[in-house]
């Protein structure tokens, strides 16, 4: 049997098991003003770009409004425009750096729809490459991430 070494996932497993996570990380992390530690790549007037700490694939980013809301339809036009301009920027940066074969992009709105953070909407941008995870997500419900979060952050940050 082959083993994948992903020690950073234990934090997620322990939090999920204990139920200890309190508050909203998409509100709390930007307020800490420690962007590198919190994996925040860019800040706009109404939104910010943050790396997913438990990514499905290397370069898995999220764009979230600064304002806490679970409803896409509650965003004001300027918040919505900036949100999708930031999504566009994320795709452009990742495409220019790593040339993925495609992207998965979307929002899971509500716990029933699969949202891990269901009270604060956010858009996932997940670059994909042919054979990037092979059969792992389907057979073993396991993602394979090919680079460390810090290494990925340092490579992306200058482009934002």
Residue 103 three-state SS? strand
- Total length of the chain: 160
What is d(CA 3, CA 159) in angstroms, rounded to the nearest whole number?
34
Catalytic residue among 60, 83, 122, 124: 122
Instruction: Establish whether 122 is a catalytic residue.
Output: yes
| Residue 63, strand partner residues | 49, 123
Residue 8 three-state SS? coil
**Cα distances (angstroms) measured from residue 64 to each of 29, 45, 130:** 12, 12, 28
C-beta of residue 53 within 8 angstroms of C-beta of residue 152: no
Give catalytic residues, as residue numbers.
Answer: 122
């Amino acid at each position: 049997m082959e083993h994948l070494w992903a020690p950073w996932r234990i934090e997620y497993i322990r939090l999920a098991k204990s139920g200890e996570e309190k508050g909203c990380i998409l509100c709390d992390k930007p307020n800490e003003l420690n962007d590198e530690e919190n994996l925040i790549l860019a800040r706009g007037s109404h939104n910010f770009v943050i790396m997913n700490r438990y990514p499905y694939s290397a370069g898995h980013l999220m764009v979230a409004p600064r304002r806490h809301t679970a409803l896409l339809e509650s965003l004001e036009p300027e918040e919505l425009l900036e949100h999708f301009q930031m999504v566009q920027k994320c795709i452009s940066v990742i495409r220019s750096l790593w040339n993925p074969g495609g992207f998965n992009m979307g929002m899971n709105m509500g716990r029933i729809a699969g949202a891990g953070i269901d009270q604060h909407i956010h858009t996932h941008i997940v670059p994909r490459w042919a054979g990037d995870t092979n059969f792992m997500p389907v057979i073993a419900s396991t993602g394979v991430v090919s680079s460390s979060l810090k290494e990925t952050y340092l490579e992306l940050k200058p482009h934002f």
